[in-house]
Chain A
């Protein structure tokens, strides 16, 4: 079992839809959680960073963490064609080991 599981998609939605992207993880030691957006043949771009359970909002993006269920989500409101990309969740331990553990990514397509 991978430490971080993510549905690969592709997820296709019409422009303006609310998008929900999800990850589950197995390591209860993970302390902080990130979402990255990656366009084709580009490096990952940091979107959201959260350190605790609950919601964090930034513009059209909301990150949600439920540590008790080991489940994290990213919501995108009013989705745009420019949001079409692969979305990667990443988890970290916070102390000691500094490496992030990534999911395999969910490919999102927003249709105009």
Chain B
């Protein structure tokens, strides 16, 4: 168990460019989440996958954002035409639906991917 892994850890991009983040969840965790966190705030939910199915999306996930989890393992989060307001830490988390009587409510986070849009 190596924990949730995120790549890259830091990304600086120019406004208007596209960026992609990758997340590798804890092995055998079937649930995967993306959150966004800005300075002085708690993480805000973006989207959630169970296996390869994207089951929930936040209103924060504008049409410039797309997330995939094609084989139910790793996931990518792409931001197209980045804006300065997209500057934040993007957090990936995972959990297993088999824990806690099937609730899978213990969610473990990665170290995050910092995005700076200049």
Contacts and interface: CB of A to CB of B under 8 A. Distances in A.
A43 B109 contact: yes
Given A44-B91, A44-B109, A98 B56 contact: yes
A51 B100 contact: yes
Nearest to B101: A51
Q: Which of B58, B107, B112 has the most CB of A within 10 A?
A: B107
Contacts of B89: 41
Interface in B78-95: 89, 91
A86 to B, nearest CB: 9
Interface of B: 4, 31, 33, 40-45, 48, 50, 55-56, 58, 89, 91, 100, 103-112, 114
A43 B91 contact: yes
Interface string A88-99: 101010100111
Contacts, number: 67
Interface residues of A, number: 27
Contacts of B50: 98
Contacts of A92: 105
A60 interface: no
A25 interface: no
A43 B33 contact: no
A100 interface: yes
A98 B42 contact: no
Interface string A3-18: 0101010000000000
Given A32-B103, A90-B42, A104-B41, 14 more contacts: A6-B42, A34-B105, A42-B112, A43-B111, A44-B91, A45-B109, A49-B100, A94-B103, A98-B33, A98-B55, A99-B33, A101-B45, A105-B41, A105-B42
